[in-house]
Amino acid sequence: MTYSRFRNLPVWSLTALVILPVLVVAGVGMRMLLREQQRLEQQAENAQTRLLEQTAERLRERMERVRADLRLELTRLPSDSLDERLMDLQRRHPLVRNVFRVSEEGDVELPNPGINLDEETREFLQRYGMLFSKRMQWFAPEGEKKGSRIKIKSSPLRSEWRPWQWADRDSLLFYVSRDNGKNVYGVEIEMAALYARMFVWMREMSGRGEELVLLDRRNRVLITTGDSENRSWGVSTEMGAYLPFARLALVSDVPLEEGLPHAYLYVAGIFGLLLLLCIVGGTLGLTAWVNRSRKEALQKTSFVSNVSHEFKTPLTTLRLYSELLLEGRVKDPEKQKYYLTTVRTESERLARLVHNVLDFSRLEMGRSRLHPQPYCLNDGLKTVCERLHERFVEAGIEVECPDQKIYGNVDPDAAEQILLNLMDNAVKYASSGGVLRIEAAIHEEKVILTFQDEGPGIPKRERKKIFEAFHQVDERITREGGGTGLGLHISRRLARQMKGDLTCSTSGRGCCFTWTFPVSREETS
């Protein structure tokens, strides 16, 4: 009887009896998922805020060191030749744009307004006319708080770091007084050089998938470590008294929550309980596919991110220094030589990056065609040593090359590329100094060429992974020294195409790379 009653019920009612409880449970579960997602997003946002505050504090510490160095420079200047020493400081210090000195009566004595002045000096006097015309005090009265000014008193010596705004542009002054507020002298900060230093600091402090942006009062981008000009940023924090007109913001490509996308969460919440068995089986397969796809995506994203960073750094330096030179803002010949040397160095670094990326692309597409021939490796070693000579000197590394002639049956261009990658790695990762020993031996028709440095070495668990594409042992060191994780991968593939191999080992201090290749009994002409 009971069975017949249920049998006579409409199909939609039986379906409802099954679907409604599932929908209720799914709705409750969906609500819990949304709340959990909001909680995770809030936690992630709080974590980003803490990270940004820590980064801003580190930047403030760097700025404090800059201020302390300038204060030391100014207080060491002798009184009897103060004007001459100030002008010398302007010529040689990259952070000094203009210098000035005001007498005890408040009159500007340097630069002397009574002589013919260039346009830059006239603009400087006009820019700070409120101070130079005695309409504003140089130092705040005792006991008065100035949140946007840093005032240090060490009687009778006083100094102040003072922000300034003129014609919608922000600038900085730093000045001291040895007579308790009288006879003031100081410098105007070169903002372009300061921002260049801050760019390097911010790039060191930014993590993978994160971009740091320095904004002014009107949210205009002053510095960015990525392509954040046309993107919105999340959390931000004030830079404080050192840069009261700026704030630091964080742009992150990392999702705030770990897990599946929102659309998939909705689908899983509604249909998960209806198709429980199917979902369980599908989830296992989907998890494996997602993990594999995520690994591939992370490798590609890591490569694109690293290449973008490595290309942007030399390009930014080239643009900054070339603009300074083009606009004639660098008058000192020594500064000009330094800037031009930097432009050349960064251009060579950019060329190496492009060469590695192109080599990797040709290897992946199977377009690499090598032509082994008798070749003297001593010529390649000499060429590479000459190209990296300045970097070896800067790193304090001495290179010891083998005395005997080394002849191998290799492609000359590929051989030089392998030598360049191995010796470039020694410069970047063994930069604490020491000796790079290059030794050669012949065994069973193979040349064994070893490169032994005195750096920190490579952990045993990383020795096989270092030859994988995009792999980097230490991301912090990579950001400091630069790199895309392709050099060793390309070198090993080239070595194996020439019937040789490239391996890594550690014996005692440092790291040892061993390159083997076929010996050639025929000497090159």
The contacts of residue 349 (CB under 8 Å, 6+ apart) are 314, 482
Distances (CA, A) of 201 to 124, 194, 240, 427: 28, 11, 17, 21
In this structure, the strands spanning 210-215 and 247-252 are antiparallel
Asked if 466 and 460 count as a contact pair (C-beta separation under 8 A), the reply is: no
Domains (range + CATH), the chain: 1-274 (no CATH), 289-365 (1.10.287.130), 369-518 (3.30.565.10)
CB atoms within 10 A of CB 152: 13
Task: Quote the DSSP letter at residue 465.
Answer: G
- The pLDDT assigned to 383 comes to 84
Task: Quote the DSSP letter at residue 254.
Answer: S
Q: Which residues of 459-488 are buried (b: 16+ CB within 10 A; e: fewer)?
A: eeeebeebbebbbbbeeeebbeebbbbbbb
Q: How far apart are CA 243 and CA 261, in angstroms?
A: 39
Q: Give me the sign of the Cα torsion angle 365, 370, 376, 382.
A: negative
- The pLDDT assigned to 478 comes to 46
- The pLDDT assigned to 219 comes to 86
pLDDT by residue for the chain (525 residues), tens digit each? 444 454 454 545 555 665 677 667 767 767 787 787 788 778 878 888 898 899 999 999 999 999 999 999 999 999 899 999 999 999 999 999 999 999 988 889 999 877 788 899 999 999 999 999 888 888 877 655 455 555 554 557 888 999 999 888 899 999 999 887 778 999 999 999 999 999 999 999 887 778 889 999 888 889 988 875 556 677 889 998 889 999 999 887 655 444 445 544 555 556 565 655 554 444 454 455 556 666 666 656 666 666 665 666 667 777 777 887 788 877 788 877 877 877 777 777 677 667 666 666 666 666 667 788 898 888 888 888 887 887 788 888 888 888 888 889 998 888 888 888 888 888 877 766 788 889 888 888 899 998 888 877 777 777 777 777 666 665 554 444 555 667 788 888 888 888 899 888 876 677 888 999 999 876 544
Asked if 520 and 375 count as a contact pair (C-beta separation under 8 A), the reply is: yes
- The pLDDT assigned to 116 comes to 81
Task: Quote the DSSP letter at residue 444.
Answer: T
Q: What angle do CA 428, 433, 439 make, to 5 degrees?
A: 85
Cross-strand pairs, 504: 513
CB atoms within 10 A of CB 26: 19
Provide long-range contacts, Cβ within 8 A and 24+ apart, for 146-149.
Answer: 147/241, 147/244, 148/241, 148/244, 149/241
- Distance, first Cα to last Cα, the chain: 106
From 248, 205, 206, select the one nearest 53 (Cα to Cα).
Answer: 248
Strands laid side by side in the 108-110 sheet: 108-110, 96-102, 184-189, 169-177, 157-166, 150-154
Q: How large is the angle between the packed helices 82-92 and 333-364, nearest 10 degrees?
A: 20
Asked if 223 and 202 count as a contact pair (C-beta separation under 8 A), the reply is: yes
Cα-Cα-Cα-Cα torsion 36, 38, 41, 43, nearest 10 degrees, comes to -70
Q: How far apart are CA 152 and CA 488, in angstroms?
A: 52
Length of the chain: 525
Helix (H) or strand (E) holding 244: none
Q: How far apart are CA 108 and CA 99, in angstroms?
A: 11
